[in-house]
Structure 1
Amino acid sequence: MNTSDLLTIWHPRMRAVLRIMVGLLFLEHGTQKLLGFPPAPNPGPALLSLLGVQGIIELVGGALLVLGFLTRPVALVLAGDMAVAYWMVHAPRSFFPVLNGGDAAILYCFVFLYLAVAGPGAWSLDTTMRDRGFGRV
């Protein structure tokens, strides 16, 4: 097998691994805010507060990414969500991301932008639906 064949086979698979892992990590932020798991030192926010809505976005968006359902539009929304979170919460604390705690928000933002452009990769509901003739998802 040559290098080109390996890239053809493994590129969509590794994109799926990235999508699934980022989705699980993002989902965990939502479960902590909304379900109290894993336990946090602070109690969960009110559901309709800004942090509560953020928890819903993290929970639902993370789950949709793990499943690979509506990956491109969900990833685009999540990228915007992380950009807003960075500029609203982290940037006012300090110019430097390592000091303001916003490095994860920046990473999430750019990984979500990548997924919005590149798509879900292998092992996704989007790919399964496309292959079964449901059109481009």
Structure 2
Amino acid sequence: MMTLEADPTAVDAGLLLLRVLVGVGLSLHGFQKLFGWFGGGGLAGTAGWFRSLGFGDGKVAAILAGTSEIAGGLGLAIGFLTPLASAAVIGTMTVAALVNNDDNGFWSVRKGWELNGYLIAVAWALATAGPGSWSLDALLGTHLSGIVPGLLALGAGVGLGWLRWSTRRPPSD
């Protein structure tokens, strides 16, 4: 019989699937940035790209972005300190949306901020709802989810991402 109440096992399975797919996928981008794995540019290539975007010599920006993607992504995947992992993801995706896509509108097909927005929403939702029972947070008994942790993760991520973006020096055309 079908019920309108949420099945806790189904919710935990859904949260696990979401965390692992988004978290591992995002961490792979960090490994591309820092180590050149999976066809990425590595630290030197990524630093050059960030330099072209106005982030000084680009090395600090590359390290920050890559580390945030790895730590935030893997933190989400295993459900560890979920609001902090979410804040790292939100911050990185805020910078990506602003730097890469701010003039291109919403649609990702036109290099817009659509995908970055979805990833911000997923990270915010996980910080708010929590990682579920099948997570390291649940195993350790750290219950950091809820409206306040979710809003703190969103505020910290967007705020720090915007601060990083606003302090760059865009290249002159």
TM-score normalised to the size of structure 2?
Answer: 0.66
Given candidates 47, 50, 69, the residue that maps to 1:58 is 69
Question: Aligned equivalents of 2:122 and 2:6: distance in 1?
Answer: 23
Stretches of structure 1 that go unaligned for 5 or more consecutive residues are none
How is 1:74-85 mapped onto 2 (pairs within 5 angstroms)? 74-85=85-96
Instruction: Tell me which residue corresponds to 1:10.
Output: 10
Instruction: Tell me which residue corresponds to 1:70.
Output: 81
Number of residue pairs the alignment of both structures matches: 132
Structure with bigger RCO (C-alpha 8 Å, 6+ apart):
1
Identity of aligned residues (%): 30
TM-score normalised to the size of structure 1?
Answer: 0.81
What letter is aligned with 2:81? L
Instruction: Please report how far the alpha carbon of residue 67 of structure 1 lies from its aligned counterpart in structure 2 after TM superposition.
Output: 1.4
How is 1:1-137 mapped onto 2 (pairs within 5 angstroms)? 2-4=2-4, 7-40=7-40, 44-46=45-47, 48-92=59-103, 94-98=104-108, 99-130=110-141, 135-137=142-144
Q: 1:70 to 1:106 in 2, by over 3 A?
A: same
CA RMSD of aligned residues (A): 2.4
Q: 1:55 to 1:77 in 2, by over 3 A?
A: closer
Greater mean alpha carbon deviation, residues 40-49 or residues 95-104:
40-49
Consecutive aligned runs of 4 or more in structure 1 exceeding 4 Å deviation = none
Stretches of structure 2 that go unaligned for 5 or more consecutive residues are 48-57, 145-173
Question: Aligned equivalents of 2:36 and 2:9: distance in 1?
Answer: 39
What letter is aligned with 1:16? L
Cα shift readout 1:68-102 (whole Å, capped 9, x = no counterpart): 1101222133223312320222113x224331243
